[in-house]
Structure 1
Amino acid sequence: MNRTLYTALFYLGLPLVAIRLWLRARKAPAYAKRIGERFSYGMPAMKPGGIWVHAVSVGESIAAAPMIRALLARYPTLPITVTCMTPTGSERILALFANEPRIQHCYLPYDLPCAARRFLDRVRPKLAVIMETELWPNHIHQCAKRGIPVALANARLSERSARGYGRFRKLTQPMLAEMSLFAVQTEAEAQRLRDLGARPETIEVTGSIKFDLTIDPQLLERASQLRGQWQALERPVWIAASTHDGEDEVVLAAHRQLLASHPDALLILVPRHPERFNSVYGLCQQQGFATVRRSSGDAVSADTSVLLGDTMGELLFLYALADSAFVGGSLVPNGGHNLLEPAALAKPVLSGPHLFNFLEIAAQLRSAGALQEVDDAEGLAIAVQRLFELPRDAQRMAVAGLKVMRANQGALQRLLDGLGRLIER
């Protein structure tokens, strides 16, 4: 399939796109808003001539934030346009850069030639930076026609994704050849991109910028103060973060098993997607757990068994409240989520076996003794209980995680150097 056929199929599929938006809007009403932006209509006022950064959703937006702040400091006269595809990503971008007048934001239009042209005519960037794996052939082609260099930052490409791209080589190879920089996390990903048709001279192994996460000391102080207010400084607290459908039942079963030996244990349960907050709260109540919603502002008491993390932008703070952390998206075949956030906070890290989106990071943490994988509710309960009862083991895991973080830092600077060469050439 070449780009012409891809575009024709995209146009033919627009009714399905509309149905998908409608279905999503039933659970998350924000999907019904700003639809014009998805076709490059009704966009906010944009100052042209800066840098365009695309981060598809919340996780990519958070990962991109240090890079964006560094670009703001390095290029003090340039505006930066940050796009995404989801309402939660939009909300996160607006919160992250609320006090930065040079940040401008809209949804990325759908990958149609007419929409891509209108978007680029409005923004006219000097450089396009795409976070991780979000590749859109028409947007990239329109950038190439205008001489706008396109970089894939913090690039990751799993073996499964590479096989998928490989099935459409006539579409993928020309698209990759039009790009100017692939700042990849590992050599394995670099080789996959070479095999798919990326020009070797455009590929640099920079590492993952997620290792460059810095923790504000005030975050840890606020977490300690809140646990003190809860009278929970000595209480065993664990977090299950970024959980997906099918994982919450497993986590709650593990927590019920934990309560048999530690009746004062507190679980902080954080669903990955906001549209699931209400259903997970209902699940907790249905199963008889005394549950407090973080969004309610109610205090956690000695009788509270579960704190539902149903707020946006607080995940690091919620990690800081806990003694150990389970990272979701890994008990179901979703590929996992960022294991480095709890590691950076010196928390022992637990996960399920499905980590195909973070194979290299997981391998490093596992080899260092900073990550333990579990398969089911019983395994999760046993692992958390061990960390509660053997604080020296928990401390060893925490220290090992911090060592892995420090050993891999520097990717952000290498990425910025590569982007600088594209802007200044």
Structure 2
Amino acid sequence: MSGIYIHIPFCKQACHYCDFHFSTSLKNIELLTEAMCKEIKLQKDFFNELKVNTIYFGGGTPSLLDGENLSKIINTLYDTYNIAETPEEFTFEANPDDINIHKLENWKKIGVDRLSIGVQSFNKDILKFLNRAHDQIMAEKALEDCKKEGFNRFSLDLIYGIPGRDLEEWRKDIEKALSYDPEHISAYSLTIEEKTVFGNWLNKGKLEPMDDDEVIQQYLLLVNILEDHGYEHYEVSNFAKPGYRAVHNTSYWNSIPYLGIGPSAHSFLNEKRWWNISNNQAYINSINKGIIPCESESLSKEDQVNEYIMTKLRLKEGIDNNEFINRFGFDFIEKNKSYLHEISSEGLGVLLNNFFKLTTKGKLFADQIASNLFY
């Protein structure tokens, strides 16, 4: 089992919080499409005999691609790799302002069976504050069109912890999202990154982050409401109806091989990681010379242990000590017994039947707890 990630590094405009790699100049879309098709062919031996079960188009904004460029990439993928006749999941990220009946029909025709829709909020003032390209009316119409076209398998992205938004406004966003009955919801706490508009405002004293206690209240409200509506809180930021976990993204947390295509895309195979250059023109120039512009690292045993701890603690199931022993040759629970009992007594974790997992409260401190457990 393996997956392919395609990074489309273009956006209509820069959201004030985003530090992903993208360009707001769309003039090189065709040149980049050709380069990505060439990279796919250059990576033809990446998987050897492994079958590809998942495809994920992310960005940036994949929904900016027209049908012709999208079809070129899809056809090259199927011509090059051993892709399952019916992939377990084919996800396509889309922004509400790009979604219309024609595009939905085309996406379905090429095999997309799951959409990840960047709504972020249904509040027009918040969307403007975030500098999103859509408003709440576009978001509502996009979701209605998805339902109309039979795209019942979709995920919504939401953001909480936004300065100036109170608990009641956040509740309204959650309830509005639930009114469309999505199979999956991803909700992320706003992080203010240095090289963003929000980061600039913060440095100039023009923006004050939300108080940590308020962020925690919004997170707990989210968890309570979604679990009351039957959603499984299967990863720190992800909620799904039973049977609708994000298959491709779950592979990242379970060390399943994946290939990333495009500028800034990451790949993983046999405890080795690669990442492509985050520059569109440099990427195109290098690919046209037959060279994949990437760096790589081989994960040491220490890296592998630490990554396992970090990713597994984010998941509902937590750390399976038997699996840990088989993979790394030592007993995770025995080595960390004192600390595990300490955080369990504080209501942050549960140690049961040779498993250790975090509680809802513990997930708020997942990164800190993981770092304290690093090898």
What TM-score, normalized to structure 2? 0.32
In terms of fraction of residues, the more strand-rich structure is 2
What TM-score, normalized to structure 1? 0.29
With a CA cutoff of 8 Å and minimum separation of 6, indicate the structure with the bigger relative contact order.
2
Larger radius of gyration: 1
